[in-house]
């Protein structure tokens, strides 16, 4: 129960991403931008990485160092993104796994972690 209370924003992001990645997408006209779904994957995982980074740094800062927070906020989203692509490929009939989606998930995660590290560094230096 404590995990739900402490990490509710991360859990909400995870549930939202799962729903978006596994629902049967409605038929609609494609946006004029090609590969729009890659941008969506990038943004979803950039957000997840950022939320997990700050959730972890806020709740674990007394117990672990910043490097461990970074690794935990990077590795889980990478495994999660890969798991989603595998699940889409092997567990659904309406979706298919795509390695390019996983690549853009990963790029979003890396960018999210780097931005969070910069923000965290500035917050720490301004607090001192």
Tokens of 67: 């490097």
Give the pLDDT band of residue 119 (cuts 50, 70, 90).
Answer: confident
Distance CA 122, CA 38 (A): 30
69-84 average pLDDT score: 89
Given the structure tokens 């993104």, which residue do they identify? 81
- Domain spans of the chain? 42-128
For residue 120, the tally of other CB atoms under 10 A from its CB is: 17
Query: What pLDDT was estimated at residue 41?
Result: 95
63-91 average pLDDT score: 85
Q: What is the mean pLDDT of the chain?
A: 85
Distance CA 88, CA 28 (A): 20
Query: What pLDDT was estimated at residue 28?
Result: 67
Tokens of 99: 């390695």
Write out pLDDT tens, residues 81-91: 999 999 999 99
Query: DSSP letter at 26?
Result: P
Pick from 67, 88, 66, 85: nearest CA to 77: 85
Write out pLDDT tens, residues 15-34: 999 999 998 877 767 666 67
Give the pLDDT band of residue 40 (cuts 50, 70, 90).
Answer: very high
Q: Helix 36-60 vs helix 66-91: angle between axes, to the nearest 10 degrees?
A: 140
Greater confidence, 23 or 71?
A: 23
Helix (H) or strand (E) holding 10: helix 8-22
**Is the pLDDT confidence value at 55 over 70?**
yes
Angle, alpha carbons 44-21-1 (nearest 5°):
75
Q: Lowest mean pLDDT of 19-23, 36-40, 53-57, name the range.
A: 53-57
Write out pLDDT tens, residues 101-112: 999 999 999 999
Pick from 48, 58, 62, 61: nearest CA to 115: 48
């Amino acid at each position: 129960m404590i995990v739900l209370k402490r990490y509710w924003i991360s859990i909400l992001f995870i549930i939202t991403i799962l729903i978006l990645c596994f629902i049967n997408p409605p038929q609609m006209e494609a946006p004029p931008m090609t590969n729009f779904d890659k941008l969506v994957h990038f943004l979803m995982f950039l957000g997840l990485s950022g939320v997990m980074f700050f959730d972890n740094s806020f709740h674990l800062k007394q117990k672990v160092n910043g490097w461990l927070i970074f690794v935990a906020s990077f590795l889980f989203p990478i495994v999660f993104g890969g798991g989603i692509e595998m699940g889409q490929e092997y567990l659904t009939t309406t979706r298919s796994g795509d390695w390019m989606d996983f690549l853009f998930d990963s790029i979003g995660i890396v960018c999210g972690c780097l931005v969070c590290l910069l923000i965290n560094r500035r917050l720490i230096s301004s607090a001192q």
